[in-house]
Structure 1
Amino acid sequence: MRNNSIKGLIEIPGYKIQEIFKKTNEEIHIRIEAYKRNKGQCSCCGQEHKSVHSVREMVAEDVRLGERRVFLYISKRRYKCSRDGRIHTEAIEWIELGARVTKAFGKQINRLTSITTNQEAGWFLGLNDEKVYRIDKAMLEELFKGRLVPTPASVNISVDEVAWKKHHRYLTNVVDVGAKVVAWNGKGRKAEVLNRYYESLGKENCQKIDTVALDGARTYISSTTDYAVNALIVLDRFHATQKASKALDQVRRDELSKARKNDNEELIELTNCKQRFILLKNRKKLSDTQSALLQRLCEINQPIYKAMLLKESFVGVYNLNDEDEAVDHIYAWIDEALQSGLPAFEEIAWSMVDKIEYVLNWFRCKFSSAISEGFNNKIKRLKRMAYGYKDIEYFKLK
C-alpha cells in the first residue's frame, strides 16, 4: 500500500500526518500532529490554552488497514492549568482515556467481544485478553453513562433474578417491557437491592409505574409495595411457567437419584440431563420420538407423571376466561399439590396461599413479561461464552 493511499484512508479531524516512518507486512507506524491553528483543551479544567508548556509523544493503536495493525504516534501538548497550577496533558476526544487506543478501535473491540470471548477477540486483534477486557469495560462504562444515567423511568417493568456465579450468587435484573431493554441491575436478590432501583428513579417516577411482573419472591414484593405504590403486581404466565418448570425439574432430579440407587437403567436413561428438555418443552412441539419417550417415562414413573400434570394445570390458569373461574382453579390446584407428596410442588402451593391476588391481577391487565426470558437466555449465553465472570461490574455492564 502506497503512502498516499494510507494518508487518504486515515483522516483525523484537526490532525495532519507528519510521516509514515515504518511500514511492514504486519504493521504501519504513523506520526501525526495537531494543526497549529487548533487550540488544545486542558484535560483538567476543560479550558483552551494558547501557550504550550511542553510536548510529549504517545502511541495509540487505530483500526487496521487490511491485515496491518496501525499505530499512531501523537504529539500531545501539555499546559499549565489555571485551576490548580499543575501541568496537564491536552484532552483528545478520539482517544480512549487510559487505554492507548483510538475510540474507533475501542468500538471495534466492543463489537467483537459481543459475539465472541475476550481471549478469541484478543487473538484476532493481536492483543492480550487482559487489555481487551480493560478496553471493553471502559467502552461499556461510557455507553452506560450515556444511556442509563440517570436511571430511565419505566411504566411496565419485569423483575427477575439470574445467577452470575456458582453458590447462589445472583443479580437482580429490571427489564423495561415497553422499551425491551434492561433498565437496571444490581448484585443480590434482597429487598434492599430492588430498593436501590426504586430510589434511583425517585418518588415521582415510582408513582408512574403501572405494572410490575415478578416471580412471587417476597423480597421483590415487599420492595415494590413500599415504593411503587400505584403499581399492579403480577405473577404472569412467564414467571408461573418458570416456577412450575423448576419444580418439575426438581422432581426429575429426585427420581433420577432414586433410579441410580436402584440401578434402574431404563429410568436413568429417560431422566438424565440429556432428556430433561423433553419434560420442560411444550408437548405440542415434541417430535414423534420425543413424545414416545415422554409417554414411556410417564408409564414407568408415577411421581414425574403427577408432576407434569401439576405443571400443566398450574400454567393452565392463564387460559381461563375470567377471575372467578381462576379463583376456583387455583384453590383446587393448591389442594391437589399439597396432597401430591411432591415437596417441590407443595412448596409452590404454600407460597401461593397468600399470593393468589398476584395471579388474578393478570386478568386485569393481561401483562406479559416474556421478553425477560429472552434477556435471561442472552445473559446465560454471555456467561457460557466467557466461561464465567470474575468482575461482577463487568458482567453487569455486559
Structure 2
Amino acid sequence: MATPSDIPLSFTVRRCKPEFITPNKPTSHEQKLVSDIDNQMNLRFHLPLVFFYRYDPSMEGKDPGEVIKDALAQTLVLYYPFAGRLREGNDGKLIVDCNDEGVMFIKADADVTLEQFGGILRPPFPCFDQLLCDFPHSQALLNCPPLLIQVTRLKCGGFIVALRFNHVMCDGTGLKQFMSAIGEMARGLVIPSILPVWERHLLDAQDPPKVAFAHHEYDQAEATATLLLDDVVERSFFFGADELSILRRLLPRHLGHCTKFELLTAYLWRCRTIAMDLDPDEEVRMLFAVNVRSKFNPQLPSGYYGNALVSPAAMTTVRNLRQNPLGHAVELVQEAKASVTEGYVKSVAALMSIRKKQVPFSTVAAGSYAISDLTNIGFQDIDFGWGKAVFAGPANAFGFASFFIPTKNNKGQVGTSVPICLPAPAMERFTKVLGNVLETSEIKGE
C-alpha cells in the first residue's frame, strides 16, 4: 500500500488575497504575560496542522471559507490573545500584546479532489506548501501573527483547513479547544461549550524559584553524532491492534498491562536507536510530552489553553538499550512518566525562570528522540458544519520528534500512525529492524 508521500500529486491552488481577521466585537487592549512553561525555548516555533473534510450535500451552497472566517471573527472575541502579537520583555519573558491586529487568513481553491490525496491520509502530505502559503516573516516569533489559517476548497466539494500556530500560545489541548470553539460558532452557537481561561500565572515559578528535580531533558550532553538535516526521509508507520499484540508478546508477564503509549514509545525508541548506529557508550534520551492538567490539586481550571505540559526524559546508553529486551525500555519510559508530579512541574517552571529562555531540550544529539501523543486530543472531532475531519493532525514530523496520530489502515482498522524523519541510510535500517519483528506490509510503511 502506498503512503501519501509515494503518491504523485500536483495541483494548482488559486488564492485570494490574505486577510487579517479581527474580533467582531471590541476586546481588551492589554498586555498578558505567558507562563514560565510557555516561555521556554523549545516552544518557540510554529507547528503546522492539517484537517481534511468531505463534501456534505446538506451544506450545499455554503462556502467553508466564509463560514470559518466569520466563526473565527466571533471566536476571537473570547480568544483575543490570538489576534495579538508576541513581544519580548527586558527579562526575556514573552508578552502577548493584545492589540487586535488579527489572525492571518487565506481562502483558496485547488483543482484536485480529496480522493486524489490517496485512500489513506497520513503525513507527510504532498504539496503541503500549496495548502498553507508561507508569507515573508510569517514564522517569526515576535511581531508576527501567532496563527495562520488557509481554507482550500476542493473540486469534489470537500475542503482542507491548514494552519500554523505559535506553540508559545497554547499546547495541543489548548488549540483543540480553540478550534472546537470556531466549529461551534460555525454551527450556530453563540457561546462555546468551554470558555477560555488565561490564568498563565498558575504555571509560573514560585518565588523564590526552586529546582527540586533533575531535568535530564535539558541536559546539554556531548554527542558523538548529530542528526543531519540533509538527505532526510520521512515516512509514516501504522500500528494497529495486531501489531501491538505482537509487541506485547515480547514483554515479561509483569509488563503485560503496560499502556499502548508506553509500549509503542519504548519500541520506537529502541528501533530508532539501533537504526541510528550510534556509539555504544553514547547516552540516548526519550522525551515525551505529558499533559499536566490533572497533576495539580486542585486541577488547572477547565478552559486553560496554555502550555500545560512537560517532557520528562528516559535515559540510558545505546549499549543498554540494544542489549536489553524491550521490557527494559518500557520500564525506563514508565519511570520517567511516573516522575511527573505537581512538584516536578513547578521545578520545570523554576528552571525556566532561573535560566530564562536559554534552556533548549537535549535534542542536538542524534540519540535524542521526542514523541507527542495526540491520539486522545480529538482533533478529528472538530466540526465546522461538514462533519468530523477525515484526517486531522500534524502535517509532518520534525527531525528529532514524532507524533502519535489516530488513523486507519487500508483495511479500515483503527490504529496509530507515526511519522518519522531519519537520514536515508538510517531509515532503511529502521524499516528493516521493524520488519524483523513485525512482518506486515503496514508496519513497513508499504
TM-score, normalisation: structure 2: 0.19
Comparing both chains, which one has the higher relative contact order based on Cα–Cα distances under 8 Å and sequence gaps of 6 or more? 2
Tell me which structure has the larger Cα radius of gyration. 1
TM-score, normalisation: structure 1: 0.21
**Greater helix share, 1 or 2?**
1
